[in-house]
Structures are given as C-alpha cells and as structure tokens.
Structure 1
C-alpha cells in the first residue's frame, strides 16, 4: 500500500480553474462532509453491500449474528470507501479532463490532496480493525486484499496501461462476497468462489457499455478502456461472451447442492434477460447509426441483474431445500 504514495507523488497537483473558484460557494462544515462522502463513491459502496449481506445470509442458511453482520457491513463499506478515496487521489489529474468526473472534490478543490490521502488511510485502517475485531482476521485480510487490488493493481498499474484494465482490476469488486462468507463461516469455500467468479465475469459487461458511452472522455484522458479504444462491434461481442459466462457460472450453485428453487428461477430469468439484451446491443452495434444509449441500457440492466440475483440468494435459504438435495430425496 505504501507504493501508492510513492507513485502518486509525481502526479501534478490539480487546481480548480479560475471560473470554478469564482463560482464556488463558501465552504461550510456540511459541504466539507459531503465532499468527503463523495470521495468514497457511495453508489459503488451500495452495490458492494448488495452482494455482501445476501452472501452472509446464504452462507449462514439464515440470519447471521447481528454484531458480526454489522461489523462486516461497516468494515466492508469503509474498505470500499477507502479504495474509492485512494482512487480519486490517484486519478485527480485525469478526472479534471473527463466530464463524468470533473465535479469530484479533488478537482473542484473542496478537498485537498493531502486531506484526501489522510482520509483514505484512516478509512483503510478503520476497516481492517472493524473487520478483524468484529468478524475475524480472515475477513480483515481479505479486506486488505480488496483495497490492494483496487488501489495498486487497478488504479496504479492497469488503468492507464491496458485495455484489459477493468477485467483484472475488477477483482477488487469481487472480494465483498468472500469477505462476507469468511465473516460467517471462518473460511472460504467453493460456493464463495463461485460467487466471486460471477462478479468477476459480470464486471466487464457491466463496465464496458459505460465506457462506450463515455468513449470521448476516456480518449481525452488517454485511458485505454476497451470501449474507448475498440469498435462498438468488438466491444459488444465481448459483452455477449462475458454475459453468457456470468449466467452459466451463476448456475453452478445448483449442481453443487447449495441453490434452491428461488435462486435457480431468478438466475435463469434475469440471466436470460441480461443475455438477451447483450445480444440486442451486439446487433445494434453492427449498424452505422449505433447510439450510445443502447449501451447504457445494458449498463443499467447489469446492475438490476446483479441486485435481483443476490436478493434471490438471500431469500433462497428460507424457501425449501437446495434442488440437488430434493432430487436425491434427502
């Protein structure tokens, strides 16, 4: 983690333009707090928590201990927030070049680079302590790994160097499910690996459509997201392949003897919808008049898909037995 400070020390300081300074309202405590919250990328945290809690319920086959559950959710949220804040610190030079990110606190000057860095490290340390003492130290170690992957592997090493950045850097977003599983069961088992892999495979067809929409932004910032450096046809082909892989992987819980009727039905239903819309995107991408909003439909649908899949994961233990147990008459 110390390498992040060393690497980013060469990044030029980002100062807001004179127009931004002139139009900026006076700094208040409330506005400062909102700026710090924005650094954590709260919408990303929400999505990560949507996968963590259902995984804990599924692993426990019921509701886990309240204190363990709260410690895991709070610690996980702080780890994700620390990762987001570190990312804002590292990317402050390119964020000012992109319309999608030009209002982030480090670009507008609402938070200084030093404040952001101290804030990031504080959240990271707190997250590890809460996960360690509130859940167990395996969960805490996995939290450290999640931060490392997002900050070092993705933000520092991959993001500006390869079009496959989100594929391998996206591993960071897979850790909440294994953190949740480890918090409940004290180990990482095959069902947790399957859920980890589902999110790993889901990340490219989730993010690449967004990069198609903001293609010009990434080109301006010289960030080689696949959607910015490849044709819409190539990107849509990749989206279809990853969407299929995601859905197939999600169904592995059935023959493993963990998934019941609720999870299986939802995985098939929303999975089929996700794959269908990916194929629609692929077909539309062949047209010369292809519109970015087609890609954004898949982006938004991918969020709905993952949310419904994990809601079903949480409901499943309370509705009947796993299908494989029923099939063999157990």
Structure 2
C-alpha cells in the first residue's frame, strides 16, 4: 500500500468515527450530565463516590447518545430539508439508517448493563425510560403534531436528574422530583428561544413549533410566563426542602435575575433574533451554573466555611 492510499484510508476511518460521534449530538450531552451530577451531589450530601459518579456518567452518556441517534434516524427527512441539519451523517447519506440503529441499540444496551450491574436497577430503568420517552413520546407523537411538543417532551431531558438521585440512594425523593421539575420548566423558554431564532426553518419543514403556529409575540409571552415559574421554583430547594443553602441561594438569585431580565427584554422585542439568541445561550449557561451551585453548596467544605463565618460573626457581635 503506498503512502497516498494509507493516508486516504486513515482519513476515512477518522471520518467514520466522527460521523458516529456526530450522530449522538455531543453538544447536548454535557448539559444533561451536569444535572445528573448536581442531583448526585445533593443526594450524597457532597460526599460523592468518584467511581459511582464515573459509572453513572458513562451509563447516562450512552443512554443520551442512544436517544439522540434514534432521533437523527427518525428526523432524517426533515433534517435533509433544513440547511442547518442537512449535513448530518444520516440525511447526508454518510451513515445508513440501519447502521445508525444498530449503533443506538448497542449504546442503550451498554447503558443498561453499566447502570444495572455497577450502580443499581432503578437508575438503569430510569435511563431506559428516558430513551423511550424521548423517542416514543417527544420525537414520534409530539414533535410533528403539536406546538407544545417541547412542554411535555421536556420531561425526557429532566430524567437524568432522577437517574443521578437514584444512583446514590436507590430511591426517588421530593428533592429529586423538584430538580426534575426545575429542568422540566426550564426547557420551554430555553427551546422556544431557539425556535424564535430558526422559526423559518421549522416552518419550511412543517414542524409546528410555537412561533410557527402562533407568532413571535405569543412565544415571547410564553417564555416570560415559564421564566416567572422556573426561577421561584429553584428556591424550593432551600425552603421547604432544606436541600441547599445560602451559597446556592445567592447564586440562584443572581442567575435568576439575569434570566428574568433577558426574558423581559425579549418580551418587549419579540422579533429581535439577536435577543432570542442571547436568551438561548444564556439559558444554557444558567442551567450549568445553577447545577454547579448545587454541587458547591453540597460540599462539606462549603458547610464548614459557612459555619466558620457565622462563628466569627457571632464573636464580633458578642
């Protein structure tokens, strides 16, 4: 084999790996995993077993990747019609649907095996329910048939929080369900901001996203209403659940204030795609930093630091 042929073969192998990697929509996965980590941190009171975290992340990654791959197969027809998605592996023809399906099934099997064997059965079953809900309910039943697809479909993206809690405790508590609810309520304003940005593309392929079937004003109004609900809900972790404390509360307050401001500005200018883009990008940062705050607040070191500060304050007052 000459050098040119060897180089071409090497490039082809790399392209195959890259195509299958792209099938999983890898940019979505970290955001889902950080909700898992946050839930695990609170469930373990900040004393998280690194191996348990790693195994849960592996299982969660494979489950999410499986669901996204099946979504790529199912939506390949509309992906081909949109310039933004036309070059994805399946609509472009670089990966055959059958091969992608085999890949998705393999990922689901790996996810279930890792979680069931090394974590617990409840977390494995929850991960599988996430795949089933995302594919069966959101992608098949809702996405092409109702403008409120993402409202109900958002439950699929919130399930990783339940997986994380179950991984640590092998149960589900009110706190776990609240974290689920926070992600669930955050999803519509996050996704509708994106829909405002690419409204014309959704209209072109007949996907009835909210701004397509109503208008930008109605969509911005819904974004504002959901934001008014999700921001207060984040403080329920402090009271009445007492799952998080002052550090989380301070960060959640600042992040929430910025979110409300951006949603309000968009409400005043619903046709401004740059404002929609700004809200969309911030919503991602918001969820990542909010979950990071949950983790930091749960750490024993944080609790010790707060106790020390309070003790010093009492000495100064005293």
Aligned twin of 1:264: 249
Mapped partners of 2:185, 2:76: distance in 1: 28
Superposed displacement of residue 42, structure 1: 0.4
1:309 lines up with 2:293 in the alignment: no
Q: Normalization by structure 1: what TM-score?
A: 0.87
Superposed displacement of residue 67, structure 1: 2.4
Mapped partners of 1:317, 1:141: distance in 2: 26
Superposed CA deviations along residues 146-195 of structure 1, whole A, max 9, x for unmatched, are 00110000011100000010111111000111100000011010111110
Query: Secondary structure of 1:239's partner?
Result: helix
Aligned twin of 2:117: 133
Superposed displacement of residue 231, structure 1: 1.0
Judge conservation of contact 2:127–2:159 (CA < 8 Å) in 1: yes
1:207-226 superposed matches below 5 A: 207-226=191-210
Q: Normalization by structure 2: what TM-score?
A: 0.90
Superposed displacement of residue 69, structure 1: 1.2
Mapped partners of 1:194, 1:55: distance in 2: 10
1:76 lines up with 2:57 in the alignment: no
Structure 1 gaps of 5+ residues are 1-24
Judge conservation of contact 1:263–1:313 (CA < 8 Å) in 2: yes
Judge conservation of contact 1:128–1:140 (CA < 8 Å) in 2: yes
Structure whose CA Rg is larger? 2
Superposed displacement of residue 109, structure 1: 1.3
Query: Secondary structure of 2:165's partner?
Result: helix
Aligned twin of 1:62: 46
Aligned twin of 1:245: 229
1:142-291 superposed matches below 5 A: 142-255=126-239, 256-285=241-270, 290-291=271-272
Aligned twin of 1:11: none
Mapped partners of 2:237, 2:85: distance in 1: 38
Query: Secondary structure of 1:43's partner?
Result: coil
Judge conservation of contact 1:67–1:134 (CA < 8 Å) in 2: no
Aligned twin of 1:9: none
Judge conservation of contact 2:266–2:272 (CA < 8 Å) in 1: no
Mapped partners of 2:281, 2:129: distance in 1: 28
Q: Give the alignment partner of residue 36 of structure 1, picking from 20, 26, 32.
A: 20
Judge conservation of contact 2:244–2:297 (CA < 8 Å) in 1: yes
1:296 lines up with 2:299 in the alignment: no
Mapped partners of 1:69, 1:46: distance in 2: 14
Superposed displacement of residue 54, structure 1: 2.0
Superposed displacement of residue 291, structure 1: 2.2
Judge conservation of contact 1:254–1:264 (CA < 8 Å) in 2: yes
Mapped partners of 2:71, 2:107: distance in 1: 13
Aligned twin of 1:121: 105
- Structural RMSD (CA): 1.5
Aligned residues: 295
Mapped partners of 1:105, 1:142: distance in 2: 28
